[in-house]
Structure 1
Amino acid sequence: MTLKEVMESARVLTAREKAFMAHCLISSLETQHDEDVDNAWKELAERRCDELLSGKISGMSWEEIKTQIRP
């Protein structure tokens, strides 16, 4: 399939499908994988989970978050 054919075919996709397609294309450009970044995110997620489970911090619902970020 040529690029022109792909572009023409993409016109009939829904916005959600186009967004997914764009994400896949952009992701395919990322050739380097930084293990340090993955480890940092893992450590942060584990620490936040431990804080939630211990009661050190409390969670917040999506509705609460939306009311705080909207003017």
Structure 2
Amino acid sequence: MSDALKILLENIGQLSSKEKALAAHCLLTSLNSTSEDNVDADWLKLAESRSSELETGSVNGLSWDELKGNILS
């Protein structure tokens, strides 16, 4: 794991939900993709849908510590 990724994972808990969504969007759009042209729109739609599910309480999220523990193990 690169130092840049370690720093990101250690500090991402300080971001708001919207900032995390923006960071995720930026990461996804930075990938060189040869798939369909509307991939960005599809990812954005999915991110917005999942954000809405969290906000309405229809799903339960993991705490950052739980998620980070899963990623780093």
Q: TM-score of the superposition, structure 2-length normalised?
A: 0.43
Higher relative contact order (CA 8 A, sep 6+): 2
